[in-house]
Amino acid sequence: MKYHQIDSALFIKNRRNFMAKMKPNSIAVFNSNDIYPISSDSTMPFQQHRDIYYLSGVDQEESVLVMFPDATDKKKRELLFLKETNDHIAVWEGEKLSKERALEVSGIKTVYWIHEMDKVMAELMAQCDTVHINTNEHYRATIETETREARFTKKLLNKYPAHSVAKSNPILQRLRSVKDPIELDLLQKACDITEKGMRRVLNFVKPGVKEYEIEAEFMHEFLRNRSKGFAYTPIIASGNNANVLHYIENNQSCNDGDLILLDVGAEYANYSSDMTRTIPVNGKYTKRQRNVYDAVNRVKKEATKLLVPGADWADYHIEVGKLMTSELLGLGLIDKVDVQNEDPNWPAYKKYFMHGTSHHMGLDTHDYGLLWEPMKANMVFTVEPGIYIPDEGFGIRLEDDVVIQKNGEPLNLMRNIPIEAEEIEAIMNS
């Protein structure tokens, strides 16, 4: 891995917190992701399932974590099953985790090779009453592929139909949404790498550059700072492309007088950052661009202040809608009649700001978190208002990642990334 080893204390704590929420005399199993094929013998780069990573720190394929806190044999309360390395694998792929190295990474003492799993699981299942299965219940999830986790669950329930079934996901949704200090440091690192990329791009952009050239500048800076690259597919949207919310072609020229919307973020140790900036191709905002930019920035600043412990997700977005409505009235994009006659289910401001303002951040760019429960300290959210005006040929979005504090305003993990229009212009023209 490119990243520095993470303190195993994080994963020990995460497992302890999870096991405290398990059913009595129950077992929980977590599988790594598949390596997905492209064609022929080509595969996509491996991405570890974030749940097993969160609980173990293991970042390789064909790995399984088993937790059985009530096991009579203390050695079998936490178990790892790993792909056994050999000389052939070491030469062709690189060495996999040894049992000793797995202990260093995860803090788990009992490690088996994956081919031993059926035998060991038969012994464990005979002793437990309930099995916690891990399903993807994220509110944004669209599941079209049968995962390794899903195949394992199907096999397990078919083989042991007499066991009770419990869900792991609600436990993980609550645990993963509140970040440990070690996690916050990793998120800060991802944001710091993103800052390096952004500053590089501010000195690179000029009329005539291609969107993909800007993407390449970010990627270069991310890789040279121990990131695998982008935390998600980057959006480099110049001109009217910014009005396509998930524009990813990144293949057009950036023209003099246009704005470029940059929605990018580096990952670090599988933790995501998520930033958006909107900058002028020629280094200078027009008066109209600047007025809209400042309006978006004001909404962002005021919306950030609303992220406090106890805040309700739905109420938060209603308040942000009021802020945006006020700014759109000031810009002349909507009028009082539009507001008076608006559909409560699709308020007038939605014509120019049609997406949500925030989402949880962490191991996933759209991280775990239960939206019907109050916000808590050490949750990490994006704040990303935008105004999109196709008729005027530009869209503006600004986005930072912030940590809710016990008291006061959130901590901005992207506080060092230029966002004020004057600073952006000064850097681009220096």
Residue 84 confidence (pLDDT) above 90: no
Confidence at residue 143, expressed as pLDDT on a 0 to 100 scale: 86
pLDDT at 18: 98
**pLDDT tens digits, one per residue of 271-330:** 999 999 999 999 999 999 999 999 999 999 999 999 999 999 999 999 999 999 999 999
- Is residue 238 classed as helix, strand or coil in its secondary structure? strand
Q: CB 229: neighbour CB atoms within 10 A?
A: 13
The verdict on domain 181-420 having CATH code 2.60.120.920 is no
Provide the phi-psi class of 66: left if phi over 0, else alpha when psi is between -120 and 50, else beta.
Answer: beta
**Three-state DSSP state, 395:** strand
**In angstroms, rounded to a whole number, what is the distance separating the alpha carbons of residues 59 and 116?**
20
What digits encode the pLDDT tens for the residues 197-241? 999 999 999 999 999 999 999 999 999 999 999 999 999 999 999
Q: Which of 314, 319, 306 lies closest to 402, judged by CA?
A: 306
Q: Classify domain 9-177 at the CATH class level.
A: alpha beta
- pLDDT of 423 reads 98
The tens digit of pLDDT for each residue in 26-48 reads 999 999 999 999 999 899 999 99
- Residue 1, pLDDT > 90, answer no
**Domain boundaries defined on the chain:** 9-177, 181-420
Question: Do 9-177 and 181-420 fold alike per CATH?
Answer: no
**Predicted TM-score (pTM) of this structure:** 0.96
pLDDT (0 to 100) of residue 91: 66
Tell me the three state secondary structure of residue 357: coil
pLDDT attached to residue 397: 98
